Chain A
Amino acid sequence: MADQIQGPAIVTGSRCRSCSTVSYPQHALCPVCGHDGFDPVPIAGAGNVLTYTDLYALSLAYAQRYLRLAIVQLDGGLRVTGQLLDPDPQMGKRVKTKIGVIRESEGGKVYGLQFVPVQTSVSDVDPG
């Protein structure tokens, strides 16, 4: 069903309305203060690769030879799991999030978190 392709979704964490802690994935009660009211907040930004793997033991949903996955610690403390799009992965490397197709199912494309290396550009380099 071609037009089930959803537009880029955002992946959200839950910000507690009482203590403002952001948790991900979703819990019914805030892991810090126990409150049960949350606001969704987009998970996005830069962070460091905590660990990664190239996974060859894939299910039928994937026809590629391997899948590169990572756990990233975002600035601000939240950790997330996603697909790492980096030909030269390293623990501790700076990456940033993007939303991309993480899986194709009968229902269409599924979007989620991917990580790409943070590029340094000329303007970032201090000339002085």
Chain B
Amino acid sequence: MRPVAILGAGMTKFGRSDSTLADLMSEASVAALRDATMGNRSVDAVVVANMGAARINRQTAIASALVDRLNLFPAAAETVENGPASGASAVKVGVQAIAAGMADIVLVTGVEKMRAVNNLEATDFVASLSHPEAEYVYGVTLPSLAGMFARLYMSRYGLTRRHLAMVSIKNHANAMRNPYAHIHQEITMEGILDAPEARVNNPPIAEPLHLYDCCPVSDGAASLVLASLDVVQHLDRPDSVVMIAGIGQATDTHAVHERSEPTELSAVRLAADQAFDRAGVGPGEIDVAELHDAFTVLEIAESEAAGFFPRGEGHVALEQGVTSLGGALPINPSGGLKGRGHPVGATGVAQLVELTWQLRGDAGARQVAGAGNGFACNFGGFGNNVVATVLRSERRDHG
């Protein structure tokens, strides 16, 4: 299998945008293409990650639309839909094309234009990933699955609402240093939990999860240019290159109640194990991680399932500052989904854009010093389809 490098990375600011779906994906793509010095090489294939264009934006076949916008014909193109894990899945499809020798350079762009509809409609759209007869029909929306999971997890492992609030505060603070983040607002423990006014500031969404435990609804796009390493080596590049060291993926039961052990994110564990195995590194060698904190409880649970902390001890690491920007394993330096925002199809790609910047030393005020290995977890469905990715910075041989 041919090794795959990241040649270029770019994204739009996430948030509430007047741009159309096509504008967003073009903007991110152009940023990544400009970042990738490709000489006179061209893009062989385009993979777009998106969950809701057909429903929310009434557009289909958007990868073909992107090829047109960027004049990339006759490149191959398709759209990948894997719910909230669409982004990492699209990267995986691009990697597979290069690894198999079917493409040398692939543009992967994740996009979501969620605010074309109101929040009720957006909530219902995301709820469509739940099981139609066994969950959705009961009024289940994604926050309810997270709420039920959180209650069980907290009861079993002793996490409290204060721990969840710590995740939110940390990610809001990190997002302040990220110009691309949706949310630029510091929050405090007093304001969201301790003051009597917190009950209005931070109302329940799906008990025990509250407003500040849930990521925002965002528009945005993120983009990577992937290339086979031998292509990269013929180009004028700096001394190190960010490689996709390993990708893993695993699935689990659709209905959350059918999971063999309801507090276990086994798809996260299996996907992470596979990614680490393929990358030839273990969790202990990871310097920085982007985890899928659609709900604050998930950052903690994923950090354990991926192997960074023993089961039930992720909140202890959080308390000790291990996962803060200055800690031993910063998690979500970008602000995560909570702070950076969550345009569903774009998130998986945005996680890898952030890690690319971190591993290149280009992350500015949120730089994790000396980051050499990065890990991302993109959580699809409610944990029934997870893609994990390990990135590594490698020194290049010259000549």
Asked if the two chains touch in their complex, CB atoms less than 8 Å apart, one says yes
Residues of A within 8 A of B (CB): 23-26, 50-62, 66-67, 69-71, 79-83, 91, 102-103, 110, 112-113
The listed residue (A56, A79, A82) touching B258 by CB distance below 8 A is A79
Contact indicator A83/B139 (Cβ below 8 Å): yes
The listed residue (A23, A51, A54, A59) touching B127 by CB distance below 8 A is A59
Contact indicator B134/A71 (Cβ below 8 Å): no
Residues of B within 8 A of A (CB): 120-121, 123-124, 127, 131, 133-135, 137-141, 143-144, 147-149, 151-152, 155, 203-209, 214, 254-258, 262
Contact indicator A24/B138 (Cβ below 8 Å): no
Q: How many A-B contacts are there with CB distance less than 8 Å?
A: 111
Closest to B153 in A: A51
Q: Show 19 A/B contacts (Cβ-Cβ < 8 Å), sorted by A.
A: A25-B131, A51-B152, A53-B144, A53-B206, A55-B206, A56-B204, A56-B206, A57-B206, A59-B141, A70-B148, A71-B148, A71-B256, A81-B135, A83-B138, A83-B139, A91-B152, A103-B137, A103-B138, A112-B138
The listed residue (B138, B140, B148, B262) touching A52 by CB distance below 8 A is B148
On whether A54 and B141 interact (CB within 8 A), knowing A71-B148, A79-B257, A81-B255, the answer reads no
A contact patch SS? strand
Whole-angstrom CA separation of A119 from B384 in the bound complex: 36
The listed residue (A24, A25, A55, A79) touching B147 by CB distance below 8 A is A55
On whether A103 and B139 interact (CB within 8 A), knowing A24-B258, A25-B134, A50-B152, the answer reads yes
Contact indicator B143/A55 (Cβ below 8 Å): yes
**List of B residues within 8 angstroms of A67 by Cβ:** 139, 144
Contact indicator B148/A53 (Cβ below 8 Å): yes
The listed residue (A50, A60, A79) touching B124 by CB distance below 8 A is A60
**List of B residues within 8 angstroms of A59 by Cβ:** 120-121, 123-124, 127, 139, 141
Contact indicator A82/B138 (Cβ below 8 Å): yes
Whole-angstrom CA separation of A53 from B172 in the bound complex: 25
**List of B residues within 8 angstroms of A112 by Cβ:** 137-138
**List of A residues within 8 angstroms of B208 by Cβ:** 53
Whole-angstrom CA separation of A12 from B91 in the bound complex: 40
**List of A residues within 8 angstroms of B139 by Cβ:** 55, 58-59, 61-62, 67, 69, 83, 102-103
Whole-angstrom CA separation of A81 from B399 in the bound complex: 61
Tell me which of B214, B254, B258 has the highest count of chain A C-beta atoms within 10 A of its own C-beta.
B258
Whole-angstrom CA separation of A79 from B147 in the bound complex: 17
**List of A residues within 8 angstroms of B205 by Cβ:** 55-57
**List of A residues within 8 angstroms of B141 by Cβ:** 55, 57-59
**List of B residues within 8 angstroms of A110 by Cβ:** 137
Whole-angstrom CA separation of A54 from B205 in the bound complex: 8
Closest to B210 in A: A56
Contact indicator A102/B138 (Cβ below 8 Å): yes
Whole-angstrom CA separation of A103 from B140 in the bound complex: 11
Whole-angstrom CA separation of A125 from B258 in the bound complex: 35
**List of A residues within 8 angstroms of B149 by Cβ:** 51
Contact indicator A53/B207 (Cβ below 8 Å): yes
**List of A residues within 8 angstroms of B137 by Cβ:** 102-103, 110, 112
Whole-angstrom CA separation of A91 from B206 in the bound complex: 16
Tell me how far the C-beta of B254 lies from the nearest C-beta in chain A, rounded to whole angstroms: 7
**List of B residues within 8 angstroms of A23 by Cβ:** 258
**List of B residues within 8 angstroms of A103 by Cβ:** 137-139
Whole-angstrom CA separation of A86 from B204 in the bound complex: 18
Tell me how far the C-beta of B130 lies from the nearest C-beta in chain A, rounded to whole angstroms: 9
Tell me which of A81, A82, A91 has the highest count of chain B C-beta atoms within 10 A of its own C-beta.
A81
Tell me how far the C-beta of B182 lies from the nearest C-beta in chain A, rounded to whole angstroms: 18
**List of B residues within 8 angstroms of A58 by Cβ:** 120, 123, 139, 141
Contact indicator B135/A53 (Cβ below 8 Å): no
Contact indicator B206/A54 (Cβ below 8 Å): yes
Tell me which of A25, A26, A57 has the highest count of chain B C-beta atoms within 10 A of its own C-beta.
A57
Closest to A62 in B: B139
Q: Can you list the 7 inter-chain pairs with the closest CB atoms, starting with the nearest?
A: A53-B147, A59-B124, A25-B134, A79-B257, A55-B144, A51-B152, A51-B148
